[in-house]
Each structure stands twice: as C-alpha cells, then as structure tokens.
Structure 1
Amino acid sequence: MRVVSLVPSLTEAVALSAPGVLVGATDWCTHPAGLGVARIGGTKNPDIERIAGLAPDLVIANEEENRAPDLAALRTAGIEVLVTEIRDVPGALRELDRVLTACGTRSRPRWLDEAERTWSALRPPDRRTTAVVPIWRRPWMVLGRDTFAGDVLARLGVDHLYAGHEDRYPRVPLEELRAAAPDVVVLPDEPYRFTPDDGPEAFPGLPCALLSGRHLTWYGPSLTEAPDVLGAALGAAARR
C-alpha cells in the first residue's frame, strides 16, 4: 500500500498507525517529527505531477483543507482519492477509523480507542464561557458555524459567539470583535500563528488564551491529550 496525505493531522495518524505506508505528504506535515517521505507542496497547492510520480494507491484529503480542482486533477490522473468531512469530534473519530482502514491497518490503534474514551467521558465545567476565536488577521476572520474547532471548544465549556453565523469562517471587523466583549479571546497558533506579541495587544482589557492549534484543529493522536492541554490554557486565561 502506498499513500500520499494532503492533511497534516491525517499524516500523523497514518504514520503512527500504519508505519511505512506513507510515501508523500505536504510541506506542512510536521508530525511525527523526522517523517522521511517525499514532500509534495502545500495543502492548497500540491504538485499533482509529483504525486502521480509517486504512484500512490490512495491519496487522503479533506473537503475543507484541500481544493476541489486539485482533487479532481488527481482523479483525472487515475489516482484514488479519499476525502474526509469533519465538523465535530464524533465525526473525526469515525473518519479516522475510515482512513486508517483504507490505509490497510489490521486493527484499530490504541490511541484512537483512548481518544474516544477521553472525549466520551469528558464533562464540561458547570459555568460556560463565551469567546471569539480569531483564526486570521488582515483581514480578521473567526470561527463561525459548523466547525470541528468550534465543537472541541463547546465540549470544553466554551461557546464562541459566531457559532450561528451563516459563514463557517466569517470576516469580522476588529472593532466588532472587541465590542462583542467575550469572556475570553481564543488565539490559536494555527492557521495564523498568534503569539503573545501578535494578538493580545489587539484586545486590550480582554482575557486572551493562546492555544495550541494542533490540539484545537487537528484530528488524530493529538485528540487524546487535547482536553488537558486546551483546558489548562483556557483555565490560565480565566484566572488572569
């Protein structure tokens, strides 16, 4: 079996669960460290000819992270493409099982069972917190409706204020985000790398939580530790 991954979190999941199967991955596939496979460009601009040259049996992709024209070009080249659609934690667990089965794993990996137990047993705090969740600036964009990251936060007791917006990632002026006066501003380091010097200064007087984007937006082995990692960061912000 020869697999190319166009999704960083799926790359990590397959590399750990089906060693030796991956032959290609994007430049953004940073986990696991030291992954020795061919690099085929970015998630939004993969090198179709290079992928075809690797002669994969399967390319794994995601309907949100990858562009439909690129996936169509791969299919035109005669390559099978498996496209995941993930909008919440249960969906992530189901799709991970589907991907790993398609990649030839003979048994369900232990980390996937652990992730399912962890999220099934999770009980959010009694007091819920409101948030805005910027994912980009120039222009400012935030989490909107029907997103995996939004569901992760909701399960941790955080309700983001644009969950009912008609767009999944609406553009919202900074002044409006400030005026929304959330309990906390959640600033992940992916896809935009918010840092202590690039983010909190835009929201004077509001608590800001700098979160690991890998734990907020990735679906894979990081799901097992995400509740603890994210919960600690959110708790620290609430105490400020």
Structure 2
Amino acid sequence: MTAVRRVVSLVPSLTEAVAATARELLVGATDWCEWPADLDVARIGGTKNPDVARVVALRPDLVIANEEENRAPDLAALRAAGIEVLVTEVRSLTQAFAELERVLVAGCGLARPGWLAEAESAWAAVRAGRPGRVAVVPVWRRPWMVLGRDTFAGDVLARLGIRNAYDGHPERYPRVPLGELTALGRADLVVLPDEPYAFTRDDGPEAFPTLPAALVSGRHLTWYGPSLTEAPAALSAALDAAR
C-alpha cells in the first residue's frame, strides 16, 4: 500500500477512531459522523447513500467502510474508480478491537493508539454483575425491530451480564410484533438506545409498561472507537439504575 494521506470514512465509529488518532488524514465523512463535534471535513451523504462522485473527487488514498453499515454497490463503484476500500466486520468486542487495529495500523499506517489500549483495559476490568437479567433491546419502531443474533451490541451487553432475549433468533435485526415483545416472562428489562432510533424514556412505559427501562447512549452501545473507553462505566450506570 502507498502512504495514506487522505482518508474518507463511511462509518461514524471509524471516523471518530481516525480523528482521535490522526485527524489530519480525514478529508471526508458521512453526514452522520458527529464525533468529534468540531470535525471540519467534506460531507459526502449518508452511510447508505453516499455521493460516490463526491468521494472520488476528494481523491482519497483509502475509504474505510463496514459490511453492515454500507452498501456493497457503493463500495464496488468506489473500487471501480480505482480507490482502495477497506471493509470492516464488527460483530463482537474482540472483533472490534482487531478491526480498529487493522484500520489504523495496517490501513492508515499509524502507530497503535494509546486510547485503544485504554479501551481494552477498561473492558478487561469488567466483571458481569447482573446474573439472570434478560433484556429486549429495540433498535427501531414502526415497525418494531430488536437486536437478534450475532451483533456487536448484543456482545457488549452480554459482557455486562445482560442476555439478549432474542439472541437465538435466526435474524440479526428481526421485526417483532409488539404483543410478542411485551409477552410476560420473555424479559425483565428493556434497553432503549438513543440511536439509530431516538428512543426516549417515554417509549418504555408506552410499549413495555411492566418492565424497567434502561435508557442508554447509542454511541456507547453500538459504536466501536474511542467511546469504548468510557462505555463500560456509562452502560453499567444506566443498567444499574433500571430496577
């Protein structure tokens, strides 16, 4: 690989990771890349609908993407334009750490950042202390969708002692009728992240009147980057408050 001096990120988590390590490399990011808040780069559309022509015009040495967040046709179009595209797969915390190192060290040619070691240490110190808690974890409504099998967020919760009620579902993000979600005995907790759907505390009592609700930061639950350093403490506090 030639020296990387210009990077376009199609993933908010990876944008934050590169910015925290070598901000000067970033020349483009999606409209959803909100961290760091003062990031001043070209905006190239959404994760699912990037402006491919605009990305090409930025002349990046590398585009970083994710197999879940970005569409294969867009990535193929970038490759056809002669741009190198690095696609990550992140479905567990262990995989997140490995992929972050691949992006930053192998992909961007940077030294392994200190914040990555800090994040690994923060999670190594976690001791699950909520035995037996089972949660429904909505990620969308109208229609209702929840975390299913094989997801990064599900693995994060499992490490904090929370079992996903739908971790055995054949789909990764199943649509589930509300009546089934609220069936007695399925779960004793509902975890409501504020993204991709901006759930609020009112969504818990409305849909899950018998369950305590933990309102959590989507950045801490679903992002893999510098936020992983503070995620164990932030998520634990929110989960412990839901009694």
TM-score by length of 1: 0.97
Take 2:152 and 2:54, find their aligned partners in 1: how far apart are those partners?
30
Paired residue type of 1:77: A
Name 1:75's counterpart in structure 2. 79
Name 1:34's counterpart in structure 2. 38
Paired residue type of 1:52: V
Q: Which runs of 4+ in 1 moved over 4 A?
A: none
Take 1:138 and 1:100, find their aligned partners in 2: how far apart are those partners?
37
Superposed CA offset, 1:178-223 (max 9, x none): 0054110011001110012334311112111111000000000000
Question: Is the counterpart of residue 163 in structure 1 residue 167 in structure 2?
Answer: yes
Take 1:72 and 1:160, find their aligned partners in 2: how far apart are those partners?
34
Question: What's the % identity of the aligned pairs?
Answer: 72
70-79 or 176-185, larger mean C-alpha shift: 176-185
Name 1:192's counterpart in structure 2. 197
Name 2:206's counterpart in structure 1. 201
Question: Is the counterpart of residue 49 in structure 1 residue 43 in structure 2?
Answer: no
Shift of 1:232: 0.4
Name 1:91's counterpart in structure 2. 95
Take 1:66 and 1:23, find their aligned partners in 2: how far apart are those partners?
18
Take 1:77 and 1:44, find their aligned partners in 2: how far apart are those partners?
19
Take 2:10 and 2:148, find their aligned partners in 1: how far apart are those partners?
24
Matches within 5 A, 1:171-186: 171-181=175-185, 182-186=187-191
Q: Secondary structure at the match of 2:203?
A: coil
Name 1:226's counterpart in structure 2. 231
Take 1:128 and 1:39, find their aligned partners in 2: how far apart are those partners?
44
Name 1:121's counterpart in structure 2. 125
Shift of 1:123: 1.1
Unaligned 5+ runs, structure 2: none
Take 2:48 and 2:96, find their aligned partners in 1: how far apart are those partners?
21
15-24 or 124-133, larger mean C-alpha shift: 124-133
Indicate if the aligned counterparts of 2:201 and 2:213 stay in contact, CA closer than 8 A: no
> Would you say how many aligned residue pairs link Structure 1 and Structure 2?
237
Question: Is the counterpart of residue 22 in structure 1 residue 14 in structure 2?
Answer: no
Take 1:198 and 1:78, find their aligned partners in 2: how far apart are those partners?
46
- Choose the corresponding residue for 2:12, options 3, 8, 13: 8
Take 1:180 and 1:150, find their aligned partners in 2: how far apart are those partners?
21
Indicate if the aligned counterparts of 2:131 and 2:162 stay in contact, CA closer than 8 A: no
Provide the alpha-carbon RMSD of the alignment.
1.0
Paired residue type of 1:18: A
Take 2:168 and 2:205, find their aligned partners in 1: how far apart are those partners?
25
Name 1:133's counterpart in structure 2. 137
TM-score by length of 2: 0.95
Shift of 1:126: 5.5
Shift of 1:164: 0.7
Indicate if the aligned counterparts of 1:18 and 1:103 stay in contact, CA closer than 8 A: no
Indicate if the aligned counterparts of 1:146 and 1:163 stay in contact, CA closer than 8 A: yes
Take 2:7 and 2:94, find their aligned partners in 1: how far apart are those partners?
24
Paired residue type of 2:65: A
Unaligned 5+ runs, structure 1: none
Q: Secondary structure at the match of 1:185?
A: strand
Paired residue type of 1:234: L
